[in-house]
Amino acid sequence: MTASDIHAHKVLNLLREQPMSRTQLEQTVIEQFGANATFRTCSRDGFDLDSLLAFFVEKQKVIENDGLWSLNIERVCSH
């Protein structure tokens, strides 16, 4: 883990606040954390933004409805 690793929960919390499109989410993450930020989850690290978003979809952490991503609260750990 490096100092620039951002926990995935911080990205998911953006969707908790407001559903948004993938493009909007990408722009918001870059604005808040920087274009070169790396991310970690509770069990893995070394994600770039694209691989983190793919992980969210694979693990059903997000739900896409009419082009908007929202948090799938049932699939997010609560620590």
State residue 79's pLDDT score.
Answer: 59
Cα–Cα distance for residue pair 39/18, rounded to 1 Å: 20
Domain ranges of the chain: 5-75
State residue 1's pLDDT score.
Answer: 47
Average pLDDT, the chain: 90
Antiparallel, parallel or unpaired: β 5-7 and 38-40: parallel
pLDDT tens-digit map of 6-35: 999 999 999 999 999 999 999 999 999 999
Global pTM reads 0.86
Backbone torsions φ then ψ of 50, nearest 5 degrees? -60, -45
Overall fold of domain 5-75: Arc Repressor Mutant, subunit A (1.10.10)
pLDDT tens-digit map of 41-78: 988 999 999 999 999 999 999 999 999 999 998 888 76
* Per-residue CA distances from 14 to 1, 40 (Å): 22, 16
